[in-house]
Amino acid sequence: MRLALAQLNTTVGDLTGNCALLRDAYRRASDAGADLMLAPELAITGYPPRDLLAKRRFVQDNLRALDELAGAVGETGLLVGYVDNNPNRPGRDYLNAAALIHRGKIVARRYKTLLPTYDVFDEDRYFQPAEANTIVEFAGVKIAITICEDIWNAEDRGSGRLYRRDPVEELATTGQPNLILNISASPFHLGKESLRSEMLRAVALKYGVPLAYCNLVGGNDELVFDGQSLVFDAAGKLLTQGAAFREDLLIVDIPGASVPPVVPAVHCAAIHDALVLGLRDYVRKCGFKSVVLGLSGGIDSAVTAALAVAALGRENVMGVSLPSQFSSQGSLDDAKALAGNLGIRYEVVPIQESFAKLRGSCQELFRGLPEDTTEENMQARIRGAILMAISNKFGHLLLTTGNKSELAVGYCTLYGDMNGGLGVIADVPKTMVYEIAGYINRDRRIIPEASITKPPSAELRPNQTDQDSLPPYEVLDVILKRYIEESQSAAEIIAMTGYDEKLVRDITRKIDLNEYKRKQAPPCLRVTTKAFGIGRRVPIAQRYVE
């Protein structure tokens, strides 16, 4: 059998656009002589549709789109994801479905059994799980059709199993398939590509059956889907692999010749490419064409600006320096040099006068009280207001430039540097920001050397550095990873790292206390196993301390 895997970048809710992508890929697959083309999970609606499913017309429109798509299908079959009505009660209204289409007709419908409801997933909110699935015969081949999570619950995963059922085992036991197919919308996080490849290879090898896995690609809100679709033969040897972070159409014969495994990209390269794709798609799918951001001369804004240029082109990026009396000449020079290296529009809007007037307006009210972070935050909020004004006036999307380390401990200002429509590096720890900067500079100097080597500083008071308030980022990021991503307690972190108890407990306390800030932050692109946002739901008003 000749398979085609259409690794598509769909847009949630764009039924017409998504079907156009499907028809174009189908024509190319048919021209290549494919017997069957696979498309990603929920390719017609886009993934994840979330509460669009509360709109009954949306679901019915998706079904009409499926019928219209079926009319364009000829001798090459098509396996495509969509939303189906659930005819049985009690139960959820809808089913996460896959349709097998051939010669203008839907010849089989199969439904997702395992509905992930953890981390960034919330499928049990919308869908009814399949009670049972059976083998489908197509072109003389007995096929086991599975949808994303259905293939992630093998018994040999041990304690990693989340469900009592194993849909692949059920299909293999009852139907003895000749081929396993999986259509998927599996979002990226650091290390996901290796984990996924090892798991799929193990499934093919366990059942002695070729396996084809077609994954979504592109950014939808906070989630970035990396593609990297895979096909393994019955011996667990790789037959083909899709491109990372871009659309692709794979054509593969089963059985066929194996290819060498693709060497995974280094971490900073994968994170870079994920952020570029996520930023490009967020801007494009939200109807913007250009972005604006503040340039402080520091590494965070420099990396964000470079990512924006890679995603959108230099003509669609505007950098703004907003100096105060505390801004060093070196920072101003670094911001200007960065803008020149990137070739972006660069403007300078001083805030000294605005800050003096705001401080003077509050002088009587604050009489007798010493200056503190209140006045520091005034500066950040003036900058935020100016950047939002530029966003409004020119129609640019404002990007925030704060990193995960700062956001974790609240080293950021509400309605100031947190203003914006997207947190590009808000899931990137500070130490990784430095790694990405090195990757950006791999061929030529784009980010000035001083932005990388000078001590990080908000420059909101004389001689300020981040380490006045925070431990070294090499230490902080270890604590944050263990506490946020690995769910270790303060006591466990102290025991396993040997770090000072007072320091660790101070950091974990800051993480807990600043949940209210993060709830008001813009969406952030997810690249780690636990990002702030939809995948982390911690109460704001709570008093539990470990």
Q: Which residues are catalytic?
A: 41, 112, 148
| Chain center to CA of 22 | 23
HSE-up of residue 505 (Cα within 13 Å, Cβ side): 7
Reading the block at residue 471, the tokens are 């431990």
Number of other residues whose CB lies within 10 A of the CB of residue 340: 11
What 3-state DSSP class applies to 546? Answer: coil
Lookup result for tokens 């895979």: 230
Number of other residues whose CB lies within 10 A of the CB of residue 191: 13
Reference 412, options 520, 542, 330; nearest CA is 520
How far lies 25's CA from each of 31, 36, 51, 99, 295, in Å? 10, 12, 28, 17, 41
Distance CA 523, CA 474 (A): 25
Number of other residues whose CB lies within 10 A of the CB of residue 343: 12
Q: What angle do CA 128, 129, 134 make, to 5 degrees?
A: 130
| Chain center to CA of 113 | 24
Number of other residues whose CB lies within 10 A of the CB of residue 387: 25
CB 34 within 8 A of CB 3: yes
Q: Which residues of 411-446 are buried (b: 16+ CB within 10 A; e: fewer)?
A: bbbbebbbbbbbbbbbbbbbbbbbbbbebbbeeeeb
Contacts with 90 (C-beta within 8 Å, 6 or more apart), sequence order: none
Distance CA 459, CA 57 (A): 52
Continuous segment of H or E residues that includes residue 172: helix 167-175
| Chain center to CA of 254 | 32
Reference 281, options 81, 424, 130; nearest CA is 424
DSSP per-residue string spanning 248-293: EEEEEESS----PPPPPPPHHHHHHHHHHHHHHHHHHHTT---EEE
DSSP per-residue string spanning 466-513: GGGTS--HHHHHHHHIIIIIS---HHHHHHHH---HHHHHHHHHHHHH
